[in-house]
Structure 1
Amino acid sequence: MSKIVVIGSMNMDIVNHVENHPQPGETIKGWGTAYHPGGKGANQAVAAARSGGQVIMAGAVGTDTFSGKLVSTLQEEGINTDFILEKDGTSGIAFITVDSSGENTIILSEGSNGKFMPDDLEPICRMMESGDVILLQNEIPWQTTEYAIQTAYSKGVRVILNPAPAVKVPKELFPFVDMLILNETEVEAITDKPVKDIDQARNAASQLNEWNIKEVIITLGKNGAIYRNQNGLELVTPSFSVNAKDTTAAGDTFIGALAAERVLGHPIQDCLRYATAAAALSVTVQGAQNSIPTREKILSFLKSMEK
């Protein structure tokens, strides 16, 4: 089976739960604090692994007390961690506040993630083969992500890019990206046009196709997701109605699950429905990686939705 190589961030998420998010200058009382391994790269790796993918993680942790837990958690999922480096200083840390409706705010301290440079990719790039897939995000230095995209393209490795946190991706890189998965905020950062509904998402996806991105998926939260490719195929996948407790890692769950399904060769419409179900299940559980469902749970959920 093709490998899924995730090149990206690993963070320790420090999560505080509150009734409502504080206003500027306001001090409020939290309901409790929890520590969860996270980071967009690691979350996507776990999601892909729990959906049956053969996953390799590449990135960096620090020399602090969080690093061992960040690596061992991935190993417990069967993820290859041979390409995770140790950098002096702190690991990545995300300070997350979740309100009673499940909506979150996040402050990211990149730590060791910001020290993962292009030269650090040499070992992982040597072992990538044509047919493999790499997943990339924006929580490591952009020059490292750019180098990974160019190298993957030269080796016939498929590139899935999730430009989050939002950044304006250089257009000259678009032909090297096989699939771009992004939300409304990230679409606006790239196209300079707001996306507030399905029609605007459809127009944005079409524009991104015209800019030489082969496949585009725009996630729209409660409004589901829209897919469009350069051949004009367009699919709108509705969301599932669930009781949301915490939206942390929902997007990462969608991406990792979709990548695993795509590697298994399933039709794109089935991949989208599967990934949407995975994301829906993730928001019903608090935390990041611990909220990501297994393949068995996702398939069981989909079967229940058919009744």
Structure 2
Amino acid sequence: MSRFCVAGSLNIDLVTRTKRFPKQGETVQGESFSTFTGGKGANQAVALSKLGAETVMTGKLGNDIYAAQYMEYFRKLGISTEGITREETSTGIAVITVDENGENSIIIIPGANGRVDAAYIKEKKELIAKADFLLLQLEIPMEAVLEAARTAKAAGTEIIFDPAPAGNVPSELLKLVDIITPNETEAEALTGIRPDDEAGFAAAGKALTSKGVRTAVMKAGSRGAYIYEKGRLAHVAGFKVNTVDTTAAGDTFNAGLAYALGEGMELAGAVRFANAAAAISTTKHGAQDGMPSIDEVQNLLGF
């Protein structure tokens, strides 16, 4: 069985549901409020665990009531917490608004996530080196992401990088990455090309691989995903489901992709598996509560 390490953020999601997003300066009435465990790093670790993967999380929590709850939750899921340290600060917070169409807007307060630095990653390097796959995102400082990628590359660990939230990414990091998984917005931020159609995805994929990335797997929401590798573009269709909340669908996609590759699937099949996992996650409320089991994914795929 393949082993997976996730280096990234751990947040508490404070979720408000409303019919529509407020305009600037406007107040609208919300319909409900809930608290969930989240963070892009932790989301990917939870999604992997729910699929049945052996997973270790590397990151930091604060010294508050949320941290203890998070650690216990991970233990119940079977996620290794040996890579998690608590800091004398708050746990990271994500303030999320979800409208009646299931779309979301998110504000991130880093908290302890902001204290994950290169020195900390070096302390945990054995966890990365022992893994077959390392999953990375951009909710911890770039120096930590870079150090984790360097460690993985030196150890022969496959690197799957989700360049989210969208922003500047050093060329050194892109040259270390095996598979990059941007959505349309993130692909545009990295390449200056908005992939609105097949030609756009091909151009964005070409630009990404020219920067040193081996393979670009570009997420396209309900349309599925586009693979650009060795100068060729391939489309892998998505799945039609009743969407109620898209929060963490991208994180579920990354976990599904890593899991399927770890199970020996070829890339197109792994992307189809990831599309199915992500689709199922949108049919339920909450970032991590909606993440599917391996049985749910296999049922959608018709296995």
- Tell me the TM-score normalized by structure 1: 0.95
- Alignment partner, residue 232 of structure 1: 231
User: How many Å separate the matches in 2 of 1:72 and 1:288?
Assistant: 18
After superposing the two structures, state which structure 1 stretch, 253-262 or 116-125, moved more: 116-125
| 1:202–1:46 Cα change, 3 Å | same
Q: Secondary structure at the match of 1:47?
A: helix
- Alignment partner, residue 27 of structure 2: 27
User: How many Å separate the matches in 2 of 1:155 and 1:279?
Assistant: 29
Q: Output aligned runs, 1:271-290, within 5 Å.
A: 271-290=270-289
User: 4+ residue stretches of structure 1 with deviation over 4 A?
Assistant: none
> Are 1:56 and 1:79, in contact at CA under 8 Å, matched by a contact in 2?
yes
Whether 1:266 aligns to 2:293 is no
Give the C-alpha shift of residue 211 in structure 1. 2.0
> Are 2:193 and 2:203, in contact at CA under 8 Å, matched by a contact in 1?
no
- Alignment partner, residue 120 of structure 1: 120
Give the C-alpha shift of residue 44 in structure 1. 0.5
Give the C-alpha shift of residue 126 in structure 1. 2.4
> Are 1:118 and 1:147, in contact at CA under 8 Å, matched by a contact in 2?
yes
Give the C-alpha shift of residue 131 in structure 1. 6.4
| 1:130–1:215 Cα change, 3 Å | farther
- Alignment partner, residue 2 of structure 1: 2
User: How many Å separate the matches in 1 of 2:270 and 2:119?
Assistant: 34
- Alignment partner, residue 17 of structure 2: 17
- Alignment partner, residue 298 of structure 1: 297
Q: Secondary structure at the match of 2:106?
A: strand
User: How many Å separate the matches in 2 of 1:45 and 1:179?
Assistant: 17
Give the C-alpha shift of residue 262 in structure 1. 0.6
1:165-202, Cα deviation, whole Å (9 max, x unpaired): 01221223322111111111111111122222232012
User: How many Å separate the matches in 1 of 2:93 and 2:160?
Assistant: 24
Q: Secondary structure at the match of 1:6?
A: strand
User: How many Å separate the matches in 2 of 1:274 and 1:152?
Assistant: 24
> Are 1:17 and 1:97, in contact at CA under 8 Å, matched by a contact in 2?
yes
User: How many Å separate the matches in 2 of 1:249 and 1:126?
Assistant: 28
| 1:47–1:86 Cα change, 3 Å | same
1:247-274, Cα deviation, whole Å (9 max, x unpaired): 0000000001110111111111211111
User: How many Å separate the matches in 2 of 1:172 and 1:63?
Assistant: 34
1:204-258, Cα deviation, whole Å (9 max, x unpaired): 11221222211111101122110122x3343211111111101000000000111
**Which blocks of at least 5 consecutive residues in structure 1 are unaligned?**
none
Aligned residues: 303
- Tell me the TM-score normalized by structure 2: 0.96
Provide the aligned C-alpha RMSD in A: 1.4
Give the C-alpha shift of residue 117 in structure 1. 1.1
**Which blocks of at least 5 consecutive residues in structure 2 are unaligned?**
none
> Are 2:217 and 2:227, in contact at CA under 8 Å, matched by a contact in 1?
yes
